[in-house]
Amino acid sequence: MASDCIFCKIVSGEAPSEKLYETDHVLAFLDIAPVHKGHALVIPKVHYQTIFDFPAALGEDIITVMQIVGKAVMQTTGGTGLNVGQNNFRDAWQLVDHVHWHIIPRFAGDGLKL
Ligand code: 5GP
Ligand code: ZN
């Protein structure tokens, strides 16, 4: 755990979040500033900064949780599309230094081009 990391605090329960799903190694929760309703984040419970630190062996768990959560947020919001995104380093707008995947439901004509 990184002591100054908000996502580590969410994992430990020290900070609140709207949890959607979890496994032994992975947690999914709603983004606090959603691009669209249902915008979720999927993270490893252990702190890794970027995709380059993240152990590939955890990739299967991450993909499985993204599929479960992606389907759930599409169903609950009525989304008809889904973006999955992941930012590394400040120049790519990584603002939280705990590797994470954005899961963003999309809607016909919503006008957002990522
Ligand atoms: P990044 O720009 O690093 O890819 O995205 C970080 C995301 O984390 C942003 O979409 C931001 O809204 C979200 N976020 C930042 N702090 C918190 C928090 O305390 N709780 C939750 N649920 N999301 C957060
Ligand atoms: Zn962390």
Which ligand 1 atom is at minimum distance from the Cα of 9? 19
Domains and CATH numbers, the chain: 6-106 (3.30.428.10)
User: How buried is 11 (Cβ within 10 angstroms: 0-12 exposed, 13-18 middle, 19+ buried)?
Assistant: buried
Instruction: Supply the ipTM of this predicted assembly.
Output: 0.99
Average pLDDT for residues 10-38, to the nearest whole number? 97
Ligand 2 geometric centre to CA of 100 (Å): 10
Distance (angstroms) between ligand 1 centre and the Cα of 30 equals: 9
- For 57-75, what is each residue's pLDDT tens digit? 999 999 999 999 999 999 9
Tell me which residues have their CB closer than 6 angstroms to ligand 1: 6, 17, 29-33, 41, 87, 93-96
**100 classed as catalytic:** yes
- Torsion, CA 71, CA 28, CA 62, CA 12, rounded to 10: -160
pLDDT surpasses 80 at 2: no
